[in-house]
């Protein structure tokens, strides 16, 4: 029998709507454009992953940070002298790879809207995403899902401390609060460590930087894995 009267915290990107596939397309275009004569595509991707990690530490998440990562990767691997003219021409091309992401319509994952509407009748639901505030708010508005949520949180990072702050800020009872998302690193493991329950919904194209081994639920907490968003209705 479904559990009643819970607080359900929902991730956004790749839980409610497609996101990483658009970045992967931009990365594929970048690697093809670079057409490096020394480094393989896999080696370029490894370098880009390192650039993204460094850029996120300094600038956070979002398209601006992603553009900086692409440009940094290009400059590190460029096989010709980095004159100002080369920088300008190449930078303009690289930025064009990310423009399509900003203008792409929101593609909700299957059954997301009706499932959220149904769950909102029985539970308190809150959006808990991370990234750039303007970008994430814009995506939420364009998704049409904003009216369903009792509250919206756009965090700089989703770690144990952030979840504990969230518990205090919204007066959450950990015994009746669940974090639901596709990322082991950001949604599942830190929320369990903060004392919440968690539900993992796998996505075939979860960002590589969100990969982590899933932790087991500590004693007294619960961890569920469902295959589709609509499967939440079997539990809640």
User: Residue 6: its pLDDT value, please?
Assistant: 97
Tally Cβ neighbours within 10 Å of residue 142. 13
> Which has the higher per-residue pLDDT, 98 or 106?
106
pLDDT digits (tens, 9 = 90+) for 60-81: 898 989 999 999 998 888 776 6
CA terminus-to-terminus distance, the chain: 8
* Mean of pLDDT values over 95-111: 89
Question: What's the pTM value of the predicted model, to 2 decimals?
Answer: 0.89
Q: What is the rounded average pLDDT for all residues in the chain?
A: 92
| C-alpha distances in Å from residue 193, one per residue of 107, 190, 206, 217, 223 | 31, 5, 21, 8, 12
- Give me the sign of the Cα torsion angle 164, 182, 192, 57: negative
For the segment 207-226, the average pLDDT, to the nearest whole number, is: 94
Answer yes or no: are the C-beta atoms of 184 and 198 closer than 8 Å.
no
Buried b (16+ CB within 10 A) or exposed e, 184-194: bbbbbbbbbbb
Express each pLDDT in 137-176 by its tens digit. 999 999 999 999 999 999 999 999 999 999 999 999 999 9
- Whether 98 has a pLDDT exceeding 90, the answer reads no
d(CA 194, CA 181): 15
What does each C-alpha distance from 98 to 71, 116, 136, 141, 207 come to in angstroms? Answer: 11, 30, 16, 21, 16
Please tell me the distance from the alpha carbon of residue 183 to that of residue 19, in angstroms, as a whole number. 13
Residue percentage of the chain with pLDDT more than 90? 72
Q: Give the chain's domains with CATH numbers.
A: 7-17+107-234 (3.40.50.1000), 21-103 (1.10.150)
Q: What is the pLDDT of residue 81?
A: 67
What local confidence, expressed as pLDDT, does residue 78 receive? 77
Tokens 């364009």 correspond to 142
Which pLDDT does position 200 carry in this prediction? 98
Q: In the beta sheet, which residues pair with residue 151?
A: 126
Task: Say whether pLDDT at 194 is over 90.
Answer: yes
Query: Tens of pLDDT along 15-49?
Result: 999 999 999 999 998 898 887 777 888 898 999 99
Confidence at 1, pLDDT banded by 50, 70, 90: low
CA dihedral 14, 16, 17, 20 (to 10 degrees): -10
CA triple 98-100-105, angle to 5 deg: 130
| DSSP state for residue 188 in the 8-state scheme | I
pLDDT of residue 215: 93
Compute CA 134 distance to the chain's CA centroid, rounded to the nearest angstrom. 15
């Amino acid at each position: 029998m479904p559990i009643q009267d819970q607080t359900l915290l929902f991730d956004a990107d790749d839980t409610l709507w497609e996101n990483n596939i658009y970045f992967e397309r931009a990365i594929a275009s970048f690697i093809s454009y670079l057409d490096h004569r020394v480094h393989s595509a896999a080696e370029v991707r490894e370098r880009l992953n390192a650039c993204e990690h460094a850029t996120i530490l300094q600038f956070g998440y979002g398209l601006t940070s992603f553009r900086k990562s692409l440009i940094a990767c290009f400059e590190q691997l460029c096989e010709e002298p980095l004159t100002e003219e080369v920088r300008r021409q190449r930078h303009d091309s690289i930025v064009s790879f990310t423009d399509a992401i900003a203008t792409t319509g929101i593609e909700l994952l299957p059954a997301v809207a009706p499932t959220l509407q149904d769950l909102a009748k029985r539970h308190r639901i809150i959006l808990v995403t991370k990234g750039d505030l303007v970008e994430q708010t814009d995506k939420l508005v364009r998704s049409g899902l904003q009216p369903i949520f009792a509250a919206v949180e756009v965090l700089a990072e989703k770690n144990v401390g952030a979840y504990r702050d969230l518990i205090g800020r919204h007066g959450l009872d950990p015994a009746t609060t669940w974090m639901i998302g596709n990322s082991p690193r950001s949604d599942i493991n830190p929320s369990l460590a903060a004392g919440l329950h968690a539900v993992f919904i796998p996505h075939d194209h979860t960002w590589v930087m969100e990969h982590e081994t899933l932790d087991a639920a500590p004693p007294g907490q619960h961890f569920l894995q469902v295959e589709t968003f609509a499967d939440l209705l079997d539990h809640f």
